[in-house]
Structure 1
C-alpha cells in the first residue's frame, strides 16, 4: 500500500512539544523567515496562515490587471482576484506553459501583474528566466506560487532573482508539508507596507511556525526526491504531457480518463487520500487525462519498487 505524504517525524515531534509548552525559548517564526530568505534571495518575508492568504496579500498589492494562465495554475488565483474586484486577463498557454509571445497579444494596463505556479499543472517547470526578462522589460510584476518549487537545487524556481513576489502554501501535501500556513517574500518593501491589513488578518501560530521551520531543513532534498521519481516515471511514459520537463506529477492524455482513473485507484491503494486524479481540471490541464500525483506520496514511497508498481499498473491499462 502507498502512503500519503505527512509531515516528517521530526516536524510532528517539534510541533507537539511547542503545543504542549515544552519549547518556549525559540523564535521559530524568525528562524523560518531566515531560511526562506536564504532560499528565495528576497529580503522581506512574512509567514501567513495559508497559501490562499499569501495570494490575497500579493494580489492586494497590484494596482493594474491580474494576468492568469488559462490552465495549469491554481483556481484560487481567479477567485481571489475576483473577490478583490481586479480586472482579470486570461493568458493563453501551451498546456500551462507560459510563452511570452502570447503576452505580446494582450492589451495590459500599467502596474499589472502575472501570477503563475512554478510548475504548470505540477507537471512542467516554467521558464522563469524568460518570463522575468519579458515582464521586467514591460513593467509587469511577476508573482510565483512556489508551493511545489521552493528549494529548487537548480535555482530556476522560487528564486527572487527572477520573480518579484514569491509565495507558497505549507499545507498538505506541499513540499513544505505542515498541514497549514504559508509565506510571501519580496524585495519590495512597499508591497508589504501597502498590505499591512491583510497581513494582520493572516497571522499564524507558533506551532505552525515551528513546523515550517523544521520542514525547511529538508526541503531541497525532498523536492529533489519528488523530481527524480517523476523523471523516472516520465522516461517510461512518452505519451505524458511535457514528458521532457521537470515536474512533480505525470499527466497522461486519454479519452477514457474517468474509468481508467477508477481502475488505478483500486489497484494503487493508499492509506489515506489518493494520488490519482482526472482532468479536465484548471489546476492541471483542460483536456481529458489521468494525473499521477507523485507529489502526494510519502518520500518512503518514491523508491524504485513503488515506482515500478505504478508503471506496471499503467501498462496493464495501456498507458505506458
Structure 2
C-alpha cells in the first residue's frame, strides 16, 4: 500500500508545541517571510490562510483583464476572477504549456495580468523566464502559482514572475495542512488589497508548520521531480515526456475505466493518487494522471515506482 503525503513528523511536533503555547518566544510568521524572500528573490511576502486567498489578493490588484491558460492551470483562477468581476481571457496552450507568441495574439487592456502555474497541469515546467520577459516587455503582469515550484534547485521556477504565490496545504511541496503565501516586488499589490489581507491572515500554528516545511523544500521537490523523471523514462507515451514535472499524464481513450482499475491495484492509506482527465487542472484530453506529488516521500523509492510501472503495463495503458 502507498502512503499519502502528510506534514512531516517534525512539522507536526512544532505545530503541536505552538498550539499548546510552548513556543511563544518565536515569531514564526517573520521566519516564514524571510525564508520565502530568499527562495523567490522577492522583497515583500505575506503568509495567508490558503492558496486561494493568495490568488484572491493578487487578482484583486489587477486593473485590466485576467489571462488564464486554456488548460493545465487551476480552476480557482477563473472562479475568483469572475467573482471579482474581471474580464477573463483564455490563452491557447500546448497541453498547458505557454508559448509567448500566443500571448502576443491577444487583445488585452492596459494593466492586464497572466496567471499560470509553475508546472502545466503539474506535468511540465513552464519557461517562466521567457514568459516573464515577454510579458514585462508588453506591459502584462505575471502571477505564478508556485505551489509545486517553490524551492526549485535549478532556479528556473518561482524566480521571475512579478507575483509569486502558492498553497501550503496538503499535499503540496510545503505541506503544513493549510495556509499559503504571496510574494512580490511591486508595492502597489498590497496597497490595493487591505481588506482581503486582513481576512486571510494565517495563524501562528500554521506559520510554524510552514516554517518547518521550508527548511528542506528544495530537497523534497527534487525527490519528487526525480521520481517523476524515472516514471516518464519507463512510460513511453506520457505527455511532455522530456519536461520536468511532479506527475505523469498518460493519454488514453479508455482513461476512465483504466483509472478505476489502477485505483484498486495502487491503493493508499488515505486519499488516492490516480486522477482522470479531461480536467482543466490537468489537460482537456482523455488521460490518466499519476499524481506523484501526492505520495509520501518514502513511496518515491525505486521499488514503489516499479510497482506503478508494472501496474500501468498490466492495464495496457502504454
TM-score if structure 1 supplies the norm length? 0.99
Structure-1 residue corresponding to 2:91: 91
1:215-294 to structure 2, matched below 5 A, reads 215-294=213-292
Superimposed CA distance per residue, residues 107-133 of structure 1 (whole angstroms, 9 cap, x where no aligned partner): 011110000000000000000111011
Structure 2 partner of 1:185: 183
1:36 maps to 36
Displacement of 1:251: 0.3
- State the shift of 1:189 in Å: 1.2
Q: Distance in 2 between matches of 1:132 and 1:27?
A: 33
SS across alignment from 1:247: coil
Offset of residue 319 of structure 1: 2.2
Unmatched segments (≥5 aa) in structure 1: none
What is the distance in 1 between the residues matched to 2:23 and 2:72?
A: 41
Aligned to 2:170: 172
Deviation, 1:22, is 1.3
SS class of match (1:238): coil
**Paired residue for 1:75?**
75
Is residue 145–residue 166 contact of structure 2 (8 Å, CA) maintained in 1?
A: yes
The residue aligned with 2:123 is 123
**SS of residue paired to 1:85:** coil
Preserved CA contact (<8 Å) 2:258 2:317: no
Q: What are the residue-to-residue correspondences of 1:156-167 with 2, within 5 Å?
A: 156-159=156-159, 162-167=160-165
Q: CA deviation at 1:193?
A: 1.3
Give the SS at the match of 1:212: helix
Q: What stretches of structure 1 move > 6 A for 4+ residues in a row?
A: none
| Structure 1 segment 305-316 matched on structure 2, within 5 A | 305-316=303-314
Alignment of 1:113-152 (within 5 A): 113-152=113-152
| 1:27 aligned residue | 27
Secondary structure, aligned partner of 2:197: helix
Map of 1:7 onto structure 2: 7
Contact map agreement 2:228 2:246 (CA 8 A) in 1: yes
Alpha-carbon distance between aligned partners in 2 of 1:164 and 1:292, rounded to the nearest angstrom: 31
Rounded to whole Å, the distance in 1 between the matches of 2:236 and 2:161 is 31
